Amino acid sequence: MNQKLKNRIEAKDTSINALLKDQKFTIDYFQREYRWQEKHIKLLIEDLTTTFLKSYKQGDKRSEVANYQSYYLGPVVFSVNAENGKKSIIDGQQRITSITLLLIYLNHLIEESSQKVNISELIFSEKYGEKSFNMSDESRESCLKALFETGIYEREESDDETIGNIIERYENIDESFPEEIDDAALPFFIDWFVENVVIVEITAYSDENAYTIFETMNDRGLNLTPTEMLKGYILSKITDKKQRTEINEIWKEQIQLLHEYGENFDNNFFQAWFRGKYAVSIRPGKAGSENQDFELIGSRFHSWFKDNHKELFDLTTSDEFYTFFKNQFPFFVKWYLACYSAQWKFDKSLPHLRYIYTWGIAESLQEPLLLASVNYRDDDQTIKLKLDFVARYIEIFTVRRSVNSRKFGQTTIKYTMFNVVKLIRNNSREKLSKNLVKEVNQIPETWQGVHNLVLNQMNKRFIKHFLSRISSYIDNVVGKNTIYDTYHNPDGKHFEIEHIWANKFKEHRDEFDQENEFSGWRNSIGALILLPQGTNQSFNSDKYPSKLEHYIKENTYAQTLHPNYYVKNPNFLKSEIIKELGFKPHPEFKKLDIDNRIELVKNICEHIWSSDYFLTD
């Protein structure tokens, strides 16, 4: 190899189009696992779509996209074999994988659109007569191929963590992609995404140089964080040396507590605290609008605080800074972390925080909303009640949207949620209840959507959450001591979604002429229950009468299908709640029975997510 070429390092800014079109590269062996989590992909979608929508306006010409605001995605490091020209990714695989998943999703959207944009060559192309994915890794091939061709991949037991993450992140993209980017805006967004998103492409022609670059980018230097800059400014405003030392010690203790939960928890905390308690403005949706409090806190909260502490925090003197950060900083750290603990592990005093961990809104909205009503002078019981009430409002919002096949990505709902933040800020317990009842009553989506709720590949996570809430609720009504996690996240066998009808169209020809109509009814919410993993696989192809004898041994919601349950449990129908819900046995299971169960589900929803909860103590 030419020594001069071997020592060469190149760096240039490039677009996604230039980086990926008709290119082929492998993933370096130590880069193989894809580890992005839900919060990472949702934040990327939020950043991309928000940046695009700042420039886009109806009536634009496609050529005007060239003048839209750019977005910097970060660097990617390649090593090129100077002898055969083959490229491998040394750093940036997580981003490239995520970009590929978004491109696959956009490719499906544009195929259904009236306008066409060809982006398939950024994903999958032909070279030397062979078609393959531009980013090649044999272990991912079948999964990516299925997503590329159909948008659906059925997981197999042998699939590793990377495949699981790829599937889940693809589903997250669908969940969070905003409705604002509609059929008219989609070609503009695709043009912008592939041409205006900037990546710095760094290329080395020896592995040694490539790894040196990787280490330099990841291990060298230690810039001050926004939290450290905020601390420096606050300490500079406290003139008394003893007080300054005390606040410095308090600061270190609180940041250490936050870091025990995660590396970036300090940043997340300050963003949630300042947005929830002090932000008064948010950038309007029209093109060309300037960032306001909400956005500035997200990008540089230390600078925002410096500009606003006098007007919004009423902090001017040294004593005011000292008193505020001595008292309120530890107080809000305590409750911020309490929210996280209750989301990770079920707490009967804060049950709805666990529910929104599974089916909540973007953290950038959810966290400020939770803290908004909390007052420094509230007692612990009042604070817990407030947190649970707000979490319940969030869950009602997300479940009603999902039942009606409406998305709730950050871009779509941020104005609604920011208005709620301001509405409930520092509310008393009584005022909070009234405001949340009012907000729930204004949600346009109703429980009528249950009639059209059908299981599909993209809403499996929601249906699992939905059925877990229903199953645990019915158990509780009849006195069983089960909780949401019993079904959604058990210590033992996991629960799976069970189709009451086996997937055998021929057995239902008396009611259906077309297989797709049968499939729709089979997947409707009235024809689904939860069963332990393994149990449902062992008899899922049986006919209904045979299945019914197994259902009588399972959870209450499944047992209520069997006539014997009502004979052996005479007190079941004496419950006032059960009477109102309209349970009945189903010795056979036809279309009419599914209709009856759908209506039952609707009634259960009205009880579980009733706004009367906000009026209780």
Token pair of 391, please?
């979490």
Provide the pLDDT for residue 222: 55
Tell me the C-alpha distance between 383 and 335, whole Å: 9
User: What does the radius of gyration of the chain's CA atoms come to, in whole angstroms?
Assistant: 27
Identify the helix (H) or strand (E) that includes residue 39.
Answer: helix 38-55
Whether 389 and 614 have beta carbons less than 8 Å apart is answered as yes
Sign (positive or negative) of CA dihedral 504, 506, 509, 512: positive
Provide the pLDDT for residue 536: 64
Provide the pLDDT for residue 213: 76
Tell me the C-alpha distance between 185 and 175, whole Å: 18
Whether 583 and 600 have beta carbons less than 8 Å apart is answered as yes
Tell me the C-alpha distance between 437 and 443, whole Å: 10
Tell me the C-alpha distance between 189 and 179, whole Å: 12
Q: Which residues pair with 199 in a beta bridge?
A: 14, 74
Tell me the C-alpha distance between 538 and 527, whole Å: 18
Tell me the C-alpha distance between 286 and 112, whole Å: 27
Tell me the C-alpha distance between 482 and 470, whole Å: 12
Token pair of 360, please?
């909540």
Tell me the C-alpha distance between 277 and 418, whole Å: 11
What is the residue extent of each domain of the chain? 3-219, 226-448, 450-615
Identify the helix (H) or strand (E) that includes residue 111.
Answer: helix 93-111
The CB density around residue 565, as the number of other CB atoms within 10 Å, is: 17
Q: pTM for this one?
A: 0.86
Spans in the chain with pLDDT lower than 70 = 1-6, 28-32, 82, 126-131, 215, 217-223, 536, 617
Q: What angle do CA 38, 43, 48 make, to 5 degrees?
A: 130
